[in-house]
Structure 1
Amino acid sequence: MTTNGHVKHLVVGAGFAGLCAAIRLQEDGETDFLVIEKGGDVGGTWRDNTYPGAACDVPSQLYSFSFAPNPDWSMSFSPQPEIQAYIRRVAEESGTLDRFRFHTTLESAAWDDDAQLWRTEVSDPTGRHTITSTTLVVGAGGLSEPRLPDIDGIEGFDGELFHSARWDHDVDLAGKRVAVIGTGASAIQIVPEIQKVVGHLDVYQRTAPYVLPRNDRRYGRLERLALRHVPGLQRLYRTAIYWGRETYVPGFTLQPKLALPAKKMALANLAKGVSDPELRERLTPIFEIGCKRILISNTYYPALDSDNVEVVTDRIAKVTGDAVVTEDGVERPVDVLIVATGFFTTELPITGHITGRGGRTLAEQWREGGMAAYKGTTVPDFPNLFMLVGPNTGLGHSSMVFIIESQVEYLRDAIRTMDLHRYATVEPTPAATEEWNADLQRRMRRTVWNTGGCSSWYLDEDGRNTILWPRSTFAFRGLLSEFDVAAYDVTAARTASPSRPATAEEVTA
Structure 2
Amino acid sequence: MTATTKSRKRFRARTVILASGPLPDSSFPEIRGIDSYTGHRIHSARWDHDYDFAGKRVAVIGTGASAIQIIPELVKQADFVKVFQRTPGWVLPRVDVATPPAVQKVFAKVPAVQQLARQALYWGHEASATALVWNTPATSLVARLGRLHLHRQVKDPWLRRQLTPDFTPGCKRMLVSSDYYPALQRDNCKLIDWPIATLSPVGIRTSDGVEHHVDCIVFATGYDVHLDGPPFPVTGLGGRTLAAEWSGGAQAYKSASAHGYPNLFFTTGPNSGPGHNSLLVYVEGQLDYAVSGITTILRNDLRYLDVRHDVQRRYNERLQRRLTKTTWMTGCNSWYLTKDGFNASMYPGFATQYLRQMRDFRYADYDAVERTAARVSSSA
Post-superposition offset of 1:331? 0.4
1:353 maps to a residue whose letter is P
SS of residue matched to 2:3: strand
- From 250, 254, 261, the equivalent of 2:130 is 250
Structure 1 residue aligned with 2:313, among 402, 417, 434?
A: 434
Q: Residues 147 and 460 (structure 1 numbering): CA distance in 2 closer, same or farther, change over 3 Å?
A: farther
2: CA distance, partners of 1:429 / 1:349: 20
Q: Residue deviations 1:455-477, cap 9 Å, x none?
A: 10011111011111110110010
Equivalent pair of 1:346/1:371 in contact (CA under 8 Å): no
| Structure 2 counterparts to residues 27-176 of structure 1, below 5 A | 118-123=1-6, 127-176=7-56
Q: Deviations over 1:19-74 (max 9, x none)?
A: xxxxxxxxxxxxxxxxxxxxxxxxxxxxxxxxxxxxxxxxxxxxxxxxxxxxxxxx
Q: Partners in 2 of 1:328 and 1:381 — Cα distance?
A: 52
- Residue matched to 2:282: 403
1:470 is aligned to 2:348: yes
For residues 121-157 of structure 1, give each alpha carbon's deviation from its aligned partner in whole angstroms, at most 9, with x where no partner exists: 124xxx5411111111111111221142111111221
Q: Which TM-score applies when normalising by structure 2?
A: 0.95
TM-score, structure 1 length as denominator?
A: 0.71
Distance in 1 between residues matched to 2:33 and 2:252, nearest whole Å:
38
- Distance (Å, rounded) in 2 between the aligned partners of 1:232 and 1:426: 40
**Partners in 2 of 1:328 and 1:400 — Cα distance?**
41
5+ residue gaps, structure 2? 374-380
Distance, in Å, in 1 between the alignment partners of 2:277 and 2:151 is 26
Looking at structure 2, the residues matched to 238 and 348 of structure 1 have their Cα atoms a distance apart, in angstroms, of 35
The offset of 1:334, in angstroms, is 0.8
- In structure 1, which of residues 306, 309, 312 is the aligned counterpart of residue 192 of structure 2? 312
**What amino acid sits opposite 1:313 in the alignment?**
D
For residues 360 and 338 of structure 1, the distance between their equivalents in structure 2, rounded to whole angstroms, comes to 40
Whether the aligned pair in 1 keeps the contact of 2:132 and 2:276 (CA below 8 Å) is no
Task: Please report the RMSD computed on the Cα atoms of aligned residues, expressed in angstroms.
Answer: 1.4
Counterpart-to-counterpart distance in 2, 1:240 and 1:384? 37
SS in 2 for 1:131: strand
Query: Which amino acid in structure 2 is aligned with residue 122 of structure 1?
Result: T
Question: Helix, strand or coil for the counterpart of 1:354?
Answer: coil
1:339 is aligned to 219
| Structure 1: distance between partners of 2:181 and 2:332 | 21
Query: CA offset at residue 223 of structure 1?
Result: 2.0
Partner-residue secondary structure (3-state), 1:290? coil
Superposition pairs of residues 485-504 of structure 1, within 5 angstroms: 485-494=363-372
Bigger CA drift: 310-319 or 217-226?
217-226
Asked if residue 287 in structure 1 is aligned to residue 167 in structure 2, the reply is yes
**Is structure 2 residue 59 aligned with structure 1 residue 179?**
yes
Identity %: 39
Match of 1:237 in 2: 117
Alignment partner of 1:322 is 2:199: no
Q: Structure 1 counterpart of 2:347, which letter?
A: W
Deviation digits for residues 247-279 of structure 1 (CA, Å, limit 9, x no counterpart)? 121223443332222211111111122121101
For 1:203, give the aligned amino acid: V
Structure 2: how far apart are the matches of 1:170 and 1:361? 41
Q: What is the distance in 1 between the residues matched to 2:136 and 2:45? A: 32
| 8 Å contact kept, 1:352–1:362 | no
For these two proteins, the number of residue pairs brought into alignment is 373
The alpha carbon displacement at 1:327 in A equals 1.1
Which amino acid is 2:288 matched to?
E
Distance 1:296 1:377 in 2: 30
CA distance in 2, matches of 1:136, 1:147: 27
- 1:120 maps to a residue whose letter is A
Match of 1:370 in 2: 249
Residues 222-256 of structure 1, C-alpha deviation per residue, up to 9 Å, x if partnerless?
A: 32222222130111011101111111212234433
Q: Which runs of 5+ in 1 are unaligned?
A: 1-117, 496-509
Inter-CA distance 348–195: structure 2 relative to 1 (3 Å threshold): farther
Match of 1:391 in 2: 270
d(CA) in 2 for partners of 1:474, 1:376: 15
CA distance, structure 2, for counterparts of residue 397 and residue 438 of structure 1: 23
Contact kept? 2:229, 2:250, Cα under 8 Å: no
CA distance in structure 2 between the partners assigned to 1:261 and 1:169 by the alignment? 40
Q: For the Cα contact (< 8 Å) 1:256–1:448, is it kept in 2?
A: no
* 1:350-402 Cα deviation digits (max 9, x unpaired): 354211113132111100x3111110011111111111011110111110110
Does 279-288 or 128-137 show the bigger shift? 128-137
CA contact (8 A) 1:413 1:482 kept: no
| Structure 1: distance between partners of 2:207 and 2:135 | 38
User: Residues 310-334 of structure 1: CA distance to partner in whole angstroms, max 9, x if unpaired?
Assistant: 1111111111111100111110001
Q: Are residue 262 (structure 1) and residue 145 (structure 2) matched?
A: no
